Amino acid sequence: MQRRSFLRVASGGFIAAAVATPLTLSGCSSELPPEALQAWQGPGEEPDVRRWILAHAILAPHSHNLQSWLVDLRTPDEITLYLDRGPGRLLPETDPWHRQMMLSQGTFLELLDLAARQRGLRADVILFPQGEFETRTVDSRPTAHIRLVADSTVKPDPLFAQVFRRRTNREAYEVREPAPNALQAIAAAVHDPLLRAGFVGGAEPQRLQEHRDIAMEAWRIELQTPRTILESYRVLRVGPQEIAAHRDGLSLNTPLMRALVTLGLFDRGHPPEPGDLGIASQIEDFNAKVGTTPAFFWLVSEGQGRTVQIKAGRAYLRAQLAATAQGLSMHPVSQALQEYPEQAEPYARIHRLLDAPPTRQTVQMWTRLGYAPAIPPSPRRGLDAHILRV
């Protein structure tokens, strides 16, 4: 095999791995630039309590780590939240109905609320103050208006202690199952009557294997569909300069990938060709991780409106923080929940498996759950990048 051909294959393999594991590759990862992780050091002293609160909210999980949040602070003691619809902030191929964007608005709002409670403030949240978005579109109207009110009855939430420890962990999980008391703590953190939380583990081996099979098939589809894999490539940041410049998306800082990009041997503007060995390798790697995943967690909602999607995001943030407190990790396997045509069969299968008729219920979140090795946090753009300039 010629040197150039070898590098091309290696490029495909490592790039595919980055989509699944943006921070690390087995035995070959490098530290991220400090400026990309600065937000995880905390806000420090902020004269405006809203900035202190928001500096925590921007650490919430977000689909593809796009951090599509904009806030307007022009009115004292108030915050208006918008969905950032700017270039590269949406996922039109894998999230065509913007459902995952609404979930990510919800994770932000819940973390904002937890931070406000730490300061003795009640966050009065009005969703969609100018009207709710249609089911399959988004626009320039705000997603929420928040008024902060001093309230002596407001108490800090114990989940806040996990904010800086929370990670989305895509690594291989230990085979041992989550402890029953840990599952109870996660379920207790979800207290919205519109949402149903559930788990499956080794006590139901056949159902557990069905979850694994659906996750594997949905992942294969996403990797082998040109436009969806390209969407992930477009938000892939390779090397310290790109990571520091963007501080979002999927980050990869291995020496090999930095060399391939520098030499022009990887073109992120083109999908892998059919039969690409790198994609096949990444499918095999993902299947190995999913095949030993000891448990899955899910959230099912009544309905599919924008408000319930935000509520599901808020509940997921609480569930993930509760899992963190129990020493557990979560990794959303969202591919089967996505509404693009190629995922129709996995979408139907996971809804049937979870007894969620799509005509009236929606599987909003579905994650791997287990004990996993420690990983670093993901890059964050910093608070000022989210403040609306008018």
pLDDT in tens, 111-166: 999 999 999 999 999 999 999 999 999 999 999 999 999 999 999 999 999 999 99
Whether this model's pTM surpasses 0.75: yes
Q: If pLDDT is split at 50, 70 and 90, which confidence band does 24 have?
A: very low
Question: In DSSP terms, which residues pair with 82 in a beta bridge?
Answer: 70
H/E segment holding residue 226: helix 226-234
Among the listed residues 33, 93, 26, 1, the one whose alpha carbon sits nearest the alpha carbon of residue 237:
33
Distance CA 114, CA 245 (A): 29
Model pLDDT for residues 200-221, shown as the tens digit of each residue: 999 999 999 999 999 999 999 9
What are the pLDDT digits (tens) for 278-330? Answer: 789 889 999 999 999 999 999 999 988 999 999 999 999 999 999 999 999 99
In this prediction, residue 355 carries a pLDDT of 98
E strands along the chain, which residues?
69-72, 78-83, 121-127, 144-150, 195-200, 236-238, 250-252, 295-302, 329-332, 361-370
Q: How many CB atoms lie within 10 A of CB 209?
A: 12
Residues 38-69 have pLDDT tens digits of 999 999 899 999 999 999 999 999 999 999 99
**H or E stretch covering 52:** helix 49-57
Domains for the chain: give ranges and CATH numbers. Answer: 41-205+292-373+381-386 (3.40.109.10)
Give pLDDT, residue 7: 36
Q: Encoding tokens for residue 89?
A: 């902030």
Q: HEC states along 313-338?
A: HHHHHHHHHHHHHCCCEEEECHHHHC
Strand, helix or coil for residue 368: strand
Q: Is the pLDDT of residue 267 over 90?
A: no
Q: Which residues contact 343 (CB under 8 A, 6 or more apart)?
A: 218, 221, 222, 335, 336
Read off the pLDDT of residues 231-253 as tens digits, 9 standing for 90 and up: 999 999 999 999 999 999 999 88
Residues 296 and 365: their CA atoms lie apart, in Å, by 10
8 A C-beta contact, residue 306 and residue 131: no
124: burial class by Cβ within 10 Å (0-12, 13-18, 19+)? Answer: middle
pLDDT for 9: 36
